């Protein structure tokens, strides 16, 4: 089952599991310094508010087992194929660019649209970036949804998922879910893909 894991995906899975175990023993202690807090000091958990390193560390924290499971399952499903296309170095750059882009998007949203004192955590920004790349690299590969069990090509799945996130974010439904951060992860991934493509030598 795990033989097909690629090196960076395996490292990310282990790191997220290890941090989740630390969270289980320390409670909210890790959230104070390593979750992504809104700009300015927060009164929650006596946190200092936003710090630059939180744009990376928040992606290793999760708000419960199912939150972790969902993100790690998606990383396990889509990450290895993306890493095989990009290679280790570019995959790591791509993943963390999506994580940081998602975090910056969330900071802007919480600052100017939905003001909130609560922190953001989870690997979803990076996972949504991987999902975008997967849909672009393997557009006609069939994916089978769980609910409902309907097969569809990867490009359609990614498009519909992105539109759903936009609608949920715009109308403020499913509170507690950082929909715009998910979109920020996808947008950051798309911009990086476009940049890399622009650096390729022109075909003659």
Does residue 170 carry a pLDDT above 70?
Answer: no
Of the spans 15-29, 87-101, 118-132, which averages the highest pLDDT? Answer: 87-101
What's the mean per-residue pLDDT of the chain? 86
| Catalytic annotation, residues | 124, 182
Q: Name residues whose C-beta falls within 8 Å of residue 45's C-beta, 6 or more positions apart in sequence.
A: 28, 31, 32
Does residue 168 carry a pLDDT above 70?
Answer: no
What is d(CA 110, CA 179) in angstroms, rounded to the nearest whole number?
Answer: 12
Coil, helix or strand for 17?
A: helix
Question: In CATH, what is the architecture of 7-198?
Answer: Up-down Bundle (1.20)
Does residue 16 carry a pLDDT above 90?
Answer: yes
Q: How far lies 62's CA from each of 51, 72, 76, in Å?
A: 18, 11, 16
Span 107-116, pLDDT tens digits = 998 887 777 7
Angle between helices 154-170 and 179-198 (to 10 degrees): 130
What is d(CA 61, CA 107) in angstroms, rounded to the nearest whole number?
Answer: 17
- The pLDDT, as a whole number, for residue 110 is 84
């Amino acid at each position: 089952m795990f033989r097909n894991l690629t090196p960076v995906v395996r490292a990310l899975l282990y790191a997220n599991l290890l941090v989740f175990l630390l969270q289980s023993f320390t409670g909210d202690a890790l959230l104070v310094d390593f979750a992504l807090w809104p700009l300015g000091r927060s009164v929650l958990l006596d946190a200092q508010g936003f710090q630059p390193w939180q744009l990376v560390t928040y992606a290793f924290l999760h708000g419960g087992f199912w939150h972790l499971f969902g993100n790690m399952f998606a990383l396990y499903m889509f990450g290895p194929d993306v890493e095989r296309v990009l290679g280790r170095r570019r995959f790591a750059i791509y993943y963390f660019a999506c994580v940081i882009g998602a975090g910056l998007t969330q900071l802007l949203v919480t600052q100017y649209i939905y003001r909130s004192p609560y922190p953001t955590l989870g690997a979803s920004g990076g996972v949504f970036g991987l999902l975008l790349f997967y849909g672009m690299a393997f557009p006609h590969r069939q994916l089978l949804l769980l609910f409902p069990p309907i097969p569809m090509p990867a490009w359609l799945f990614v498009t519909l998922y992105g539109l759903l996130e936009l609608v949920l974010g715009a109308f403020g439904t499913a509170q507690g879910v950082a929909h715009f951060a998910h979109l920020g992860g996808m947008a950051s991934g798309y911009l990086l893909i476009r940049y890399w493509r622009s650096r390729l030598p022109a075909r003659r």
